[in-house]
Amino acid sequence: FFFFFFSSRRRHTRYISVTGVQTCALPILYGWAKIHWRKIMKDNPRILITNDDGIDAPGIKHLQEIAREISDDIWIVAPQNNQSGAGHRFTLGTELSMEQLENNIFSIDGTPADCVVIGTTYILKDKKPDIVLSGINHGQNLGDIIHCSGTLAGAREGALQGALGIGLSQAYDYERRTE
């Protein structure tokens, strides 16, 4: 897995990327997260999950299972269709449709950034999320691709909305066609 970690509290944003090659960054990430987790997280944090592969993508279901390990206050707001490569684009000039699929699961006819904004300002307006998880993306988000990644835009928008934003991607070996 490739993890891209965003954190935002008021005026500062920290970006930490960890890949299999950069294993020396893991202690830094772990130490930073451990310190800040105690400061900003509480028991049973509210988690908002989104992605760019769409509401029916298998990665979002795996991420929901992982999130259940730390909380039972989990909400999913994801695009109706695949929005890979959407970047941090917002849908402007048209109305967005929202469909409630289950109790805490919604699909939006928009981008991952749209989903996070609607999730934080409309669906969860009574109590904003503490964490925004975006992914698990099918394919890696590395290098310059992070600028056009809808997965990382979801995490980035979560950070801009005041939550801890984390984007997750699954590496894929295109030469061997294995995950």
pLDDT digits (tens, 9 = 90+) for 20-37: 333 333 334 444 454 455
Nearest to 137 by CA among 104, 103, 170: 170
CB–CB of 173/27 below 8 Å?
no
Question: Which residue in the block uniquely carries the two structure tokens 């801009």?
Answer: 160
The secondary element (H helix, E strand) that includes residue 73 is none
Q: Is the pTM of this model over 0.85?
A: no
pLDDT at 15 over 60: no
pLDDT at 140: 75
